[in-house]
């Protein structure tokens, strides 16, 4: 499965500024901005980058998400699976070709990625 990748994007000039400000190599700045390192130094570099115009970017596998007025969020996956999150009662249903495969109760935001991974794994 493809995983979600994060990185902080800044201009070339800002990357050069980070190298000088933290007295580190360009490689260290790259590791910090691409989350290849999560050391305290890397965290400080990312924070400085964000404070100076950096933008946190997230690359994730493509799928459609619809936030409908009926209180549901629906996600449509390329394998024909739909996940339907009911926003008011915190439940989710995983459906494949119109058939309910699995129901989740008491869904938290932290549960969503695991539900999505399950949905993507169905054939």
Over the range 83-115, which residues count as b (16 or more CB within 10 Å of their CB) and which as e? Answer: bbbeeeeeebbbbbeeeeeeebeebeeeebeeb
What's the pLDDT at 61?
A: 67
Mean pLDDT of 35-39: 95
What's the pLDDT at 52?
A: 96
**CA dihedral sign, ordered 12, 18, 20, 21:** positive
What's the pLDDT at 1?
A: 43
pLDDT tens readout for residues 56-115: 987 766 677 777 778 888 998 888 899 999 988 999 999 987 789 999 999 998 999 899
**Average pLDDT, rounded, for the chain:** 89
What's the pLDDT at 78?
A: 85
Which pair of structure tokens corresponds to residue 41? 């130094």
């Amino acid at each position: 499965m493809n995983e979600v990748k994060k990185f902080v994007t800044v201009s070339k000039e800002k990357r050069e500024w980070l190298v000088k400000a933290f007295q580190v190599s360009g490689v260290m700045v790259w590791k910090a901005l691409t989350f290849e390192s999560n050391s305290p130094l890397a965290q400080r570099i990312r924070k400085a980058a964000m404070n100076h115009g950096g933008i946190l970017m997230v690359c994730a596998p493509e799928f459609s998400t619809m936030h409908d007025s009926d209180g549901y969020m629906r996600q449509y996956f390329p394998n024909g699976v739909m996940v339907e999150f009911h926003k008011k009662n915190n439940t989710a249903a995983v459906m494949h070709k119109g058939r309910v495969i699995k129901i989740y109760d008491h869904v938290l935001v932290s549960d969503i990625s695991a539900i999505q991974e399950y949905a993507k794994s169905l054939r």
